[in-house]
Amino acid sequence: MTPTALLPIYDDLSAARASILRRGSLREVEVPPRIADSLRALFGEPVSPDEAVRRIIRSVRQGGDAALLDWNRRIDGATLDALAVPQDAIDAGLRRTPDEVVAALTLAAGRIRAFHEKQPVTGWLDAAGEGSLGQLVRPVESVGVYVAGGTAPLPSSLLMSVIPAQVAGVPEIVVVTPPGRGDGAVPDVILAAAAVCGVRRIYRVGGAQAIAALAYGTESVPRVAKIVGPGNLFVTLAKQQVYGDVGIDGLPGPTETMVIADDSADPALAAADLLAQAEHDVLASAILVTPSRDLAERVSAEIGQRLETLSRAGIITQSLAGRSGAVIVADLDEAFEVANDYAAEHLCLLVRDPWAWLGRVRNAGGVFLGESSFEVLGDYVAGPSHVMPTGGTARFASPLNVLDFVKITSVIGLDPRAAAELSRAASVLARAEALTAHAAAAEARINREPGR
């Protein structure tokens, strides 16, 4: 590894696989000293993030609203009398938000809705000859949307999570978001986003305690059938721990971008895209994969020059040092092997004729083709939800979409003749499994007189 400027460069692929390309369990994430210190102060002893989340969930299940208000005070420094945000406060937040921001939120909401309305989600019924087989499609009855707000308000996440649920027809949608310090006020831009897409129920609570409240319910916060939305490490661990008692969209953890670039790429644009990812979180990953060492060095130099102008330079510096870097590969074929193994949340192709390489992509949350289709557009206004699989889960998971908010119920309505014919095979299989009651139930239909 060669540390050039702020972006480490790995000439040895095996070394990169052992470090920035290595995937591990959520429970094995190396905890930054700042977080470890805050957990020690919060609990009075050293605890792991996983154990901290377990204790918080237990307290909310036992203490309800009182526990939520206490965690608001202890973690977020917010002293509240009530958790719900009144409708007039949502309306006021919309009025205080600058017109150009409201216009941008409205544009984004329209594009997100239009994209998801194109997704085919249909029931069907086949009544050909032997009765009927098919499926019913029904929306989930209630959804809780987590909207992060710890280091920066994220109204885009509200739109990206709420609107696919609305398209699916979910009747009850509630939002939870961390309270601001002091009076616990929710940022106006979050309230504006809620108003733009018609959300009327917002609760001021964040972190693992918010996930516990949605999973089990409190005096104020309703229990929901499914929880969606990205959050920090503690939110993700909480979703993992409550899964089964409630549905979840997945485990979107610290965000990540992998940029595949050749020597045709503009180093300034590649640097800008990596910096945009790194500013999310100290645990974010921004990785460049290229066969051109010259490009890697130029991108690294660009990052060094641009960093001084950015408001979240401290977070970016930690992210680049911890989980980011440039990986030098032999050619683009090897670059795509690396990308498919890593299974990035965002895969950006800054190469000649990116469409020619699209067929090589097997594992990615989203693919961004060329310098005009950069990942930040996907974050805000392109149309697909930006809630995408992280941590390598793109190997088996998909971005948040309408299918996340519906249930499919199988329909079986066979006529007596078909039932009798199929029962012979069912009986054979049941006896092969030593399930004699199953076999008897099937055999009772074989010689059953029609109409009885």
Strands 142-146 and 172-177: parallel
Q: What residues act catalytically?
A: 345-346
β-sheet bridge partners, residue 356: none
CA distance 325 to 6: 9
Q: Kindly give the interhelix angle for 99-117 and 155-168, rounded to the nearest 10 degrees.
A: 40
- Measured between alpha carbons, how far is 148 from 64 in angstroms, rounded to an integer? 21
CA distance 375 to 255: 12
- The Cα 354–Cα 111 span in angstroms is 24
Contact 65, 220 (CB under 8 A): yes
Angle between helices 99-117 and 188-197 (to 10 degrees): 40
List the one residue out of 308, 356, 319 whose CA is nearest residue 336: 356
Task: Specify which residues 327 forms β-bridges with.
Answer: 10, 289
Cross-strand partners of 409: 136
Distances (CA, A) of 23 to 108, 248, 282, 400: 33, 22, 17, 22
Instruction: Quote the CA–CA distance of 150 and 170 in Å, as a whole number.
Output: 27
Closest CA to 322 of 286, 289, 347, 298: 286
Is residue 430 a contact partner of residue 436, using CB atoms and an 8 Å limit?
yes
Closest-CA residue to 188 (of 218, 158, 227, 220): 158
Q: Which residues contact 236 (CB under 8 A, 6 or more apart)?
A: 26, 251, 252, 253
Strands (E), 140-205: 142-146, 172-177, 202-204
Residue 147 DSSP one-character state: -
Question: What does residue 247 show for φ and ψ, rounded to 5 degrees?
Answer: -80, 155
* Dist CA 252 CA 229 (whole Å): 8
The residues facing 124 across adjacent strands are: 135
CA dihedral 17, 18, 21, 23 (to 10 degrees): 120
